[in-house]
Structure 1
Amino acid sequence: MARMSMIEAIRSAMEVSMAEDERVVVFGEDVGYFGGVFRCTQGLQQKYGVARCFDTPINESGIVGAAIGMAAYGLRPCVEIQFVDYMYPAYDQIVSEAARIRYRSAGQFTCPIVIRMPTGGGIFGGQTHSQSPEALFTHVAGLKTVVPSNPQDAKGLLIAAIEDPDPVIFLEPKRLYNGPFDGHHDRPVTPWSTHPLGEVPDGHFTVRLGEAVVRRPGKAVTVLAYGTMVHVAEAAAEEAGVDAEVIDLRTLLPLDLETVATSVKKTRRCVVIHEATLTSGFGAELVALVQEECFWHLEAPIMRVAGYDTPYPHAQEWAYFPGPRRVAEALVATMEA
């Protein structure tokens, strides 16, 4: 075991995968010589050469399109889109090509690519560096969508994603990159601290895609969260004094509905949290699924706590985030319903 930040864990995952499988290639804007804007790929080009870790032009559609072609011919590209906000020019490639190639070819071709993208706010990046568009990917049949909440999961999930035969969208919450992130605060504490976040196994290991995990056992209410919001949910439960069971979804698609339904049937209450805007966010899908699976067990309406339905603020982003105060209020209201 080694103590790592999420950045170091992600880098370790790529390094392990490249060492074990020569088909794995890493590329994107500034990922080679510079080591990536967040340094997730630092040192990979020096270790594995420019043929396996290389820079690309500022062309997201070209990055993903090239990765799809490489995957169809047997390679396993792990590409970086510098911020998830930049993926829109590549969205057609992701939806119309990567997600459909297995079906369109009747299984003759697969598309084993991973598209890594920093997501969410926390760096005062404004509207073009802080979005949380995970719902755009979960709506697309043929894609898997992953959002880790800690370094160990980040490494294990990324290795599993690289080994998966189909395209995986791998979203990395920027607020968790360097840590430590204190979920009790509605504002940055040490947003660029270099202190490690957690213990991470050395070498190769995987966290299976499609499996959620209970982060905080409880009996009174189930809280569904992913990424940064897992830490906010844990802090809110403590502040509200509510015996909440916090579930870290880890993989949004495929979703571990069994773990979710088992918890909700036990607690009989549910609160859903995500950083993205409320309307048509992934939380709406979670609410629908919980209602379908657990309707006769529920004793209160399912509540959502999310970002506001406004353009993403810049200087006020920490007021925009669902913080522990807002989540705690939702927990109390659910218990009183």
Structure 2
Amino acid sequence: MAEHNQVQGGVPMTMIQALRSGLDVMMGRDDNVIVYGEDVGYFGGVFRVTEGLQAKYGKTRCFDAPINESGIVATAIGMAAYGLKPVVEIQFADYFYPATDQIVSEAARLRHRSAGDFSAPMVIRMPCGGGIYGGQTHSQSPEAFFTHVCGLRTVMPSNPYDAKGLLISSIECEDPVIFLEPKRLYNGPFDGHHDKPVVPWSKHDMGRVPEGYYNVPLDKAVVFRPGKAVTVLAYGTMVWVAEAAAREAGVDAEIIDLRSLWPLDLDTILESVKKTGRCVVVHEATRTSGFGAELTALVQEHCFYHLEAPIERVTGWDTPYPHAQEWAYFPGPARVAEALKRAVEA
């Protein structure tokens, strides 16, 4: 069971800078890596992840696309089948729906329907989740949708070090990768109490990122916080919310940062739950049919005789995204702490 250790060396980076560094490294190593999407060229992306790449690599390697998500993904599939390595940005995860047919029926199935003659080695980057008061059309967390599609890989990092390493691995992958970027983590870790980071990434160990090439496996979870009383399964922003909840509640929780939602590192999850005998699942998305339901089912199937308490889920509400009540909608430390206490006291 791997644990997150303090990153040795590296320079302070935000998640934005780490993602940009990953793109820069791979564009420098491989001329087939192409970056495009809405406003990613001259403007550098709405969150500035691609800033400076067009100036460095030219307009044929980093360029703007029309407001046409289906067209962006469709052309990326063609490029990938031809031998290029497209990395496209959907400006907000909420905008992927017009490209659903291209993602599900084409990109995810190309290797299988062609019996391996063609593949779609492409990355679709999507800023996801709330935290910017963007309302219903700029704040969704649609990860469960992608994990349901056979042929896709789905990734969500929780810190700059993982973000760069996972992005590099995603670009090198021969399958299409949905790369989800929690907006609340772009500039620093959150504990769920505030609409600003607890500390900037430059003050945190995981904000120290090697400048050159390295990768992080796409199918390996990591122990974010070791513990013995209860296992918490989380990813993205919720890793930090769970850590704050465990600290404030005084619960010896072991937090598993999934990093890769599919393929899922089931071995790490089961090893932890069998040790603690208790499990709490936390995610920002809607509760019903959220990815937490799959995690709960897997733990129940494999760890039934090890469980000492019912599995708890702490999630967003089953409602359209509530703009005015954004911070009540998010699972915060208080709600997560209550679930931790119920689990350990059962």
Given the two structures, how large is their TM-score scaled by the length of structure 1? 0.98
SS at match of 1:315: helix
Q: Of residues 182, 186, 203 in structure 1, which corresponds to 2:193?
A: 186
State the 1:335 CA deviation: 1.1
State the match for 2:249 in structure 1: 240
Residues 5 and 196, structure 1, Cα contact 8 Å, conserved in 2 = no
Give CA deviations for 1:265-319 in whole Å, capped at 9, x if unaligned.
0000000000001000000000000011111100111010000111101121011
Q: What residue identity is the alignment partner of 1:113?
A: M
Give CA deviations for 1:12-69 in whole Å, capped at 9, x if unaligned.
0000000000000000000000000000000000000000000000000000000000
Counterparts of 1:119-198 in structure 2, within 5 Å, are: 119-179=128-188, 181-183=189-191, 185-190=192-197, 198=207
State the match for 2:296 in structure 1: 287
Q: What residue identity is the alignment partner of 1:186?
A: H
Counterparts of 1:97-112 in structure 2, within 5 Å, are: 97-112=106-121
Q: What residue identity is the alignment partner of 1:83?
A: F
State the match for 1:78 in structure 2: 87
Counterparts of 1:204-243 in structure 2, within 5 Å, are: 204-243=213-252
Residues 149 and 227, structure 1, Cα contact 8 Å, conserved in 2 = yes
SS at match of 1:78: strand
SS at match of 1:316: helix
State the match for 2:324 in structure 1: 315
Runs of 4 or more consecutive aligned structure 1 residues displaced over 3 Å after TM superposition: 189-197
Counterparts of 1:86-101 in structure 2, within 5 Å, are: 86-101=95-110
State the 1:124 CA deviation: 0.2
Q: What residue identity is the alignment partner of 2:61?
A: R
1:2 and 2:11 are equivalent in the alignment: yes
State the 1:201 CA deviation: 1.1
State the 1:191 CA deviation: 8.6
CA distance in 2, matches of 1:187, 1:217: 25
CA distance in 2, matches of 1:270, 1:218: 12
State the 1:10 CA deviation: 0.3
CA distance in 1, matches of 2:54, 2:198: 28
Q: What residue identity is the alignment partner of 1:310?
A: T
CA distance in 2, matches of 1:172, 1:188: 17
Residues 160 and 208, structure 1, Cα contact 8 Å, conserved in 2 = yes
Q: What residue identity is the alignment partner of 2:80?
A: A
Counterparts of 1:21-100 in structure 2, within 5 Å, are: 21-100=30-109
Q: Percent identity?
A: 72
CA distance in 2, matches of 1:315, 1:186: 16
Residues 217 and 246, structure 1, Cα contact 8 Å, conserved in 2 = yes
Q: Which runs of 5+ in 2 are unaligned?
A: 1-9
CA distance in 2, matches of 1:333, 1:123: 31
The number of residues matched between the two structures is 335
Q: What residue identity is the alignment partner of 2:312?
A: M
Give CA deviations for 1:246-267 in whole Å, capped at 9, x if unaligned.
0000000000000000000000
CA distance in 2, matches of 1:199, 1:47: 24
Compared CA separation, residues 90 and 24, structure 1 to 2 (3 A)? same
Q: What residue identity is the alignment partner of 2:190?
A: D
State the 1:182 CA deviation: 3.4
Residues 190 and 237, structure 2, Cα contact 8 Å, conserved in 1 = no
Compared CA separation, residues 196 and 46, structure 1 to 2 (3 A)? farther
Compared CA separation, residues 47 and 258, structure 1 to 2 (3 A)? same
Compared CA separation, residues 39 and 161, structure 1 to 2 (3 A)? same
Q: What residue identity is the alignment partner of 1:30?
A: D
Give CA deviations for 1:98-151 in whole Å, capped at 9, x if unaligned.
000000000000100000000000000000000001000000000000000000
Residues 13 and 201, structure 2, Cα contact 8 Å, conserved in 1 = no
Q: Which runs of 5+ in 1 are unaligned?
A: none
CA distance in 2, matches of 1:129, 1:58: 15
State the 1:186 CA deviation: 2.6
SS at match of 1:236: helix
CA distance in 1, matches of 2:83, 2:203: 36
Residues 190 and 198, structure 2, Cα contact 8 Å, conserved in 1 = no
Counterparts of 1:239-278 in structure 2, within 5 Å, are: 239-278=248-287
